[in-house]
Amino acid sequence: MKLTTNQILEQNQEQRTKCLVYTRVMGYHRPVESFNIGKKGEHRQRTHFTEGKCC
């Protein structure tokens, strides 16, 4: 039997912890949860990339 996402979350509820996501804004690291609605929307639309090695 394959479990749904909700069933998995319910079974492991006591093991879960809150995950804070931080992002760099104007040289400072800030938690995304402290952003206003507009800034949260802007954060969701950002393009993520991995910078390659320089040498």
Cα 34 from Cα 37, distance rounded (Å): 10
pLDDT-flagged residues of the chain (< 50):
none
Closest CA to 48 of 30, 16, 20, 24: 24
> What pLDDT shows up at residue 16?
84
For the chain, the average pLDDT equals 88
User: 0.85 exceeded by the pTM?
Assistant: no
Encoded amino acid at 51, one letter: E
Cα 17 from Cα 6, distance rounded (Å): 16
> What pLDDT shows up at residue 47?
86
* Rounded alpha-carbon distances, angstroms, from residue 38 to 14, 22, 33, 45: 33, 16, 12, 11
> What pLDDT shows up at residue 29?
93
